[in-house]
Amino acid sequence: MARLSIFVVLLLVFISLANAASEDQSEEPGVYIVYMGGKGSSTPGTLRDDQAQIMNSFLKRDAVVQVYKHGFTGFAAHMSKDEADLIAQEPGVVSVSRDKMIKLSTTRSWSFLKLQHYLDNPIPETEFHRSKVHGAETIIGLVDSGIWPESRSFNDKGMGPIPKRWKGTCQETEDFRASSCNRKLIGARYFMSINKTSRDFAGHGSHTSSTAAGAPVPGVSYYGLAGGTAVGGSPKSRIAMYKACYLGGCDESAILAAMDTAIHDGVDILSLSIGKPAFITTDISKDLLAVGAFHAVEHGIMVVFAGGNSGPQLSSVSNYVPWMTTVAASTIDRHIYANVVLGTNQVIKGGGFQFSSLSASPIYPLIDGVSAKIRSHNITDRLARNCQPGSIDSSKVKGHIILCFNEIGDDPFDRIEDMINKGALGAIMVDDDFKIQSIDLLYENKTFPRTFISSKDGNAVLSYIKSNRNPTATIGRSATSIGFKPAPAVAYFSSRGPSFFTHNLLKPDITAPGVNIIAAWTRASTEFGIPGQAPPDYVVVSGTSMATPHIAAVAALIKSQHPTWDHSAIRSAIMTTAVQTCSDGSPILKFPGSQVATPYDFGAGHVNIGQVMDPGLVYETSMTDYYFFLCNYGYNLSTIKLIAKTIPEGFSCPKNANTALISNMNYPSIAIANFKKNTERKVTRTVKNVGDEDEAVYEVTVDAPEHLNVQVIPETLHFTQEYQKLSYDVKFSTKYSFDSDIFGWITWSNGKYRVRSPFALSLTERSIR
């Protein structure tokens, strides 16, 4: 079996331990998180009276692990299941849940974003990174695996003084001094019971930090691949690292403590490339990532979360609540290729990371799996064609390059490892998605010659083998090309909607570059090194973890341009200006396969940095909207009052509260569950005029499939002043029985601005509680 390391799982496998789904069923003592809502002490930063009283017995026996007292109230402590059950009954306690392990879910990506849709008229450097909007004064907090402060990406050349509002610190340890921080890296803290340092031994935190706000570093590459100038999307933003993760994952109690502290410190944006499986809990008060994000938003912080790497399965998207901005991952136009040359000198284009030393001449014997099949009545041609372990004869494949198809869909690296053990010289793997996305860097054997080619080319190579008595080939060392198409495309691993909990809210929200992103790494890990060479300072990695800091950076840029905008206005600008086509006008595709992507794959579409600063209209989602969401999700008013910091006087849950009303939340996308024929569903939305003209007239257009009737009332919005708000209704109806969920778009435009929202009508609905 391919020996993918623990860290490979840490980066690319978003699913937590299988037994996490039954988090509170264990009778063994452990760490439990006591969540006591958003109301704090009358003296900020001190314990609430009831909090102190409950904690008292645990403090006496030194059992407290974390204390939450800034953005919300609670603590985490070692206790028995019986103690946890008793505390859950105490007044003021919202929930008690067992601590869980959460998995952690650039030179070209920002250039690609600037060029996309602007090939004939690229966005000038002064337009995107000009002094007014390059992120100065904005602070991006990252909850991650720490940071490698010596990386060139974190130098503070040209940075001004640290903002006076900053209340954070650079937590000193023997290997992380106060001098490790500077005007770029303005804060670093750790929240671990082990590995007590802010230093990054995994690499993940350094990678995400430099992607978001790294300083420009010229001449960066990964052993000659993906070369260029590495720069974060908001290179003048400040970085604050909150280390809550290590090689094994992240303790939920530590993540919550990191978010609580970030609220106190004064970050503007929180970026978390972490998450749990979509199905892990139906109780928001026990989903403490959602809880921490809720309180961050209460305190004016935008929170950006990874959508997860559990795709392409439907309803696999993580971080599903409306106050989180949830990010999918897509490809860029840079391709890492490793070509095949046949004995006829025909070149077959392939994809993949490998640093082999084969000759450039096609002198090596070539064989296919069926020809190398072991003699056994149990081994079919299909198994051998796919090079399934146990199907290939060592004596036949030894010293050969072997052609293997991937029609069964198993892990190709299991089969590559088997070929190495059998003495093969190299492997040509037929797999369309790996060929296009080239995400095999994490496979530990980087010197074994292998490449991924398309099924069409695979059949061509097979024909060559069958038509020649002594077929030969070679596999070239990896190299980089720019301008690869189709790009962007939704990554096959990117988690998909609809939300597992409610189909009345569309998730993910947006997609951003998350495939083969090069950024800073740690010197403490040799995971990505090539034997005999120095460990790399910059590494190419894929995942929604990599897409998330792209959106955090864009949010920081918007915040620097519009400091009074709240998180929802920023999210709206990102979503309503997104694009759904590639630079050549073709639709964005999704993998596996080559189907056109839908809002379940990419939300509102692919981030479009050319328009986000000036969206024209924005949808503002207030805290009251979120309180109503909790009502309609199934919580009563008394519980919501415990969770929230403050509730508007006179607020009450609707008497007819139900999940269908979630669709009416003022969100930049529209999602409706249980949509049936011969019924009409109506939603209302409100937009705010933030364009550069006080008076503006917007006309609506609707893109909808045949047989779906979509009526927008009114069809014209006439704004007469800046910041004016106007509302409109959308009615959906049909007399047709659709056999799959329905997607479309509602676009408001006035000639200058294009404000576009997706809609998703689901034929079903989850039972969420």
Neighbours of 85 (CB within 10 A): 13
Look at residue 227 and tell me whether its pLDDT is greater than 80.
Answer: yes
Look at residue 9 and tell me whether its pLDDT is greater than 70.
Answer: no
Determine contact, residues 96/88, Cβ cutoff 8 Å. Answer: yes
**pLDDT for position 522:** 94
Look at residue 290 and tell me whether its pLDDT is greater than 60.
Answer: yes
Q: Print the domain residue range for 724.
A: 666-761
Phi, psi of 57 (to 5 degrees): -65, -30
Q: Summarize the confidence of residues 97-123 as an average pLDDT.
A: 59
Residue 131 pLDDT class (50, 70, 90 cuts): very low
Tell whether 722 and 593 lie within a shared domain: no
**pLDDT for position 124:** 38
Last residue of a domain, one of 441, 475, 509: 475
Encode 338-356: b = buried (16+ Cβ within 10 Å), e = exposed: bbbbbbeeeebebbbbbbb
**pLDDT for position 411:** 73
Determine contact, residues 508/500, Cβ cutoff 8 Å. Answer: no
- Which amino acid is located at 508 in the chain? P
- Which amino acid is located at 630 in the chain? L
Task: Give burial (CB, 10 Å; 0-12/13-18/19+) of 383.
Answer: buried
Q: For position 389, which CATH number holds?
A: 3.50.30.30
Last residue of a domain, one of 70, 99, 128: 99
Residue 14 pLDDT class (50, 70, 90 cuts): very low
Phi, psi of 400 (to 5 degrees): -115, 160
Residue 646 covered by a domain: no
**pLDDT for position 11:** 38
Neighbours of 402 (CB within 10 A): 26
Look at residue 620 and tell me whether its pLDDT is greater than 50.
Answer: yes
Determine contact, residues 544/327, Cβ cutoff 8 Å. Answer: yes
Q: Summarize the confidence of residues 280-309 as an average pLDDT.
A: 91
In whole angstroms, what is the distance from residue 730 CA to residue 667 CA? Answer: 13
In whole angstroms, what is the distance from residue 184 CA to residue 88 CA? Answer: 43
Determine contact, residues 210/234, Cβ cutoff 8 Å. Answer: no
Determine contact, residues 509/325, Cβ cutoff 8 Å. Answer: yes
In whole angstroms, what is the distance from residue 327 CA to residue 517 CA? Answer: 15
Tell whether 407 and 429 lie within a shared domain: yes
Q: Which two tokens stand for residue 360?
A: 């450039």
In whole angstroms, what is the distance from residue 171 CA to residue 149 CA? Answer: 13
Number of domains in the chain: 4
Residue 411 covered by a domain: yes
Look at residue 106 and tell me whether its pLDDT is greater than 90.
Answer: no
Locus of tokens 């998207």: 317
Residue 18 pLDDT class (50, 70, 90 cuts): very low
Tell whether 262 and 383 lie within a shared domain: no
Tell whether 350 and 328 lie within a shared domain: no
Q: Which two tokens stand for residue 715?
A: 């069809």
Tell whether 344 and 462 lie within a shared domain: yes
- The residues carrying an active-site annotation are 144, 204, 545
Residue-wise pLDDT tens digits, 349-368 = 998 888 888 999 999 999 99
Higher pLDDT residue, 200 or 105? 200
Q: Summarize the confidence of residues 249-270 as an average pLDDT.
A: 96
Residue 536 pLDDT class (50, 70, 90 cuts): very high
Tell whether 67 and 130 lie within a shared domain: no
Q: For position 156, which CATH number holds?
A: 3.40.50.200
Beta bridge partners of 405: 430
Pairing of strands 325-330, 347-348: unpaired
Look at residue 17 and tell me whether its pLDDT is greater than 80.
Answer: no
In whole angstroms, what is the distance from residue 537 CA to residue 355 CA? Answer: 17
Tell whether 107 and 204 lie within a shared domain: yes
Alpha helix ranges (H) inside 532-649: 544-561, 567-576, 599-602, 623-633, 637-643
Tell whether 384 and 514 lie within a shared domain: no
Radius of gyration (Cα) for the chain, nearest Å?
27
In whole angstroms, what is the distance from residue 641 CA to residue 429 CA? Answer: 57
Residue 766 covered by a domain: no
Residue 435 pLDDT class (50, 70, 90 cuts): low
pTM, 2 dp: 0.92
Last residue of a domain, one of 446, 475, 504: 475
Tell whether 81 and 131 lie within a shared domain: no
Tell whether 108 and 95 lie within a shared domain: no
Residue 385: in which H helix or E strand, if any? helix 381-385
Residue 679 covered by a domain: yes
Q: For position 61, which CATH number holds?
A: 3.30.70.80
Q: For position 710, which CATH number holds?
A: 2.60.40.2310
Residue 436 pLDDT class (50, 70, 90 cuts): low
Tell whether 287 and 159 lie within a shared domain: yes
Residue 639 covered by a domain: no
Residue 236 in 3-state DSSP?
A: coil
Q: Which two tokens stand for residue 607?
A: 């981030």
Residue 563 covered by a domain: yes
- Which amino acid is located at 319 in the chain? N
Determine contact, residues 136/238, Cβ cutoff 8 Å. Answer: no
HEC assignment per residue over 192-219:
CCCCCCCECCCCHHHHHHHHHHCCCEEE
- Which amino acid is located at 266 in the chain? G
In whole angstroms, what is the distance from residue 529 CA to residue 747 CA? Answer: 48
Distances, alpha carbon 759 to alpha carbons 7, 45, 320, 603, 741, in Å: 38, 43, 17, 9, 10
Q: Which two tokens stand for residue 480?
A: 């980089």
Residue-wise pLDDT tens digits, 379-396 = 999 999 999 999 999 999
Pairing of strands 510-513, 325-330: parallel
In whole angstroms, what is the distance from residue 435 CA to residue 455 CA? Answer: 10
Residue 448 covered by a domain: yes
Q: What mean pLDDT, rounded, does the chain reach?
A: 89
Tell whether 672 and 559 lie within a shared domain: no
Residue 339 pLDDT class (50, 70, 90 cuts): very high
Beta bridge partners of 39: none
716: CB partners within 8 A, 6+ apart? 697, 698, 699, 700
Residue 609 covered by a domain: no
